[in-house]
Amino acid sequence: MTRADWVAAARAVLVQRGIGALGVRALAAEMNVTPGAFYWQFRNLEALHEALRADWADRNTAPFTRAIGAAGPEGLRQYLAWVRVVVMEDEFDPGYDNAIRDWAHHAPRTAAILAEVEAFRIAQLRGVFLALGFQGHTAEIRARVAYYHQVGYNAMRVREPREQRLRNVPYYAEILTDTRALTGLNGAEAVLRVLNGASF
């Protein structure tokens, strides 16, 4: 068992059952090993917790960084790249975010990491809105609205078919970015093609 194996197993427990279910003996039993195997990789449970926080910070933020960076300098393309990560959920796991936020309510260290990561994500979005041509505090507030909207969507565990989420993208884009460039797209498949880089 590697550290990565333990972190992956801990991630699954955290997302499915919360931090209260994450103990060394229970985790070892799930992995079909003895608790002693845990201590070959981690000094104690808190060390695993720290590895889990780092895993979340990277795993659920790096996809946005990569997508925005790969989109080039055009603000609308950057925004759509961010939207694709949010909607497709093939790299970003909203359940992991929810589990970390639940944990942060009673764990100051987790709360501090959460605050740091969320400030970074909002700053990323502020850069997107600056690239879209908004300035100063306007870019900051639009970034917050976009981010808080998505956090609320995930925290409420809104469940829409992906097709519906894709059809909604042009409307959110109009509200958040003041562009009607996507409103002529006909259906979910057309929206997905644009999110994947096609012209519009």
Q: Identify the CA nearest to 150 among candidates 102, 69, 66, 85.
A: 85
Tell whether the model's pLDDT for residue 140 goes beyond 90: yes
Paired tokens of 134 = 């908004």
Where does the pLDDT of residue 170 fall: very low under 50, low under 70, confident under 90, or very high at 90 and above? very high
pLDDT tops 90 at residue 61 = yes
Q: Quick check: is 200 in a domain?
A: no
Same domain, 23 and 96: no
> Domain check: are 179 and 120 in the same one?
yes
Indicate if the pLDDT at residue 113 is higher than 90.
yes
Q: Residues 82-86: what's their mean pLDDT?
A: 98
**What pLDDT shows up at residue 175?**
96
Domain limits for position 39:
3-55
Distance CA 141, CA 122 (A): 10
The two counts, helices (H) then strands (E), for the chain are 11, 0
Neighbour count for residue 98 (Cβ, 10 Å): 17
**Cβ burial, residue 137 (10 Å; 0-12/13-18/19+):** exposed
| Sign of the CA dihedral running 172, 173, 174, 178 | positive
Distances (CA, A) of 44 to 112, 138, 146: 21, 46, 38
CA–CA separation, 73 and 68 (whole Å): 9
Please report the DSSP string for 119-149 in residue order: HHHHHHHHHHHHHTT--HHHHHHHHHHHHHH
89 and 136 within one domain: yes
Inside any domain, residue 149: yes
Question: What is the rounded CA–CA span in Å between residue 182 and residue 191?
Answer: 8
Q: What is the pLDDT of residue 159?
A: 87
Number of domains in the chain: 2
Average pLDDT of the chain, as a whole number: 96
For residues 49 and 100, membership in a common domain is answered with no
* Within-domain flag for 158: yes
Residues 27 and 106 in one domain: no
72 & 161 share domain? yes
Q: Provide the pLDDT for residue 22.
A: 96
Confidence at residue 49, expressed as pLDDT on a 0 to 100 scale: 98
pLDDT score, position 152: 94
pTM to 2 decimals? 0.94
pLDDT of 1 higher than 90: no
Q: What pLDDT score does 17 carry?
A: 97
Query: Span 166-174, mean pLDDT?
Result: 96
If we measure between CA atoms, which residue out of 181, 159, 60 comes closest to residue 114?
60
Same domain, 105 and 167: yes
The stretch 10-32 carries a mean pLDDT of 96
Q: What is the pLDDT of residue 200?
A: 80
Model confidence at 119: pLDDT above 90: yes
* Mean pLDDT value across residues 96-113: 98
Give the residue-averaged pLDDT of 90-111.
97
> What mean pLDDT comes out for the span 4-19?
97
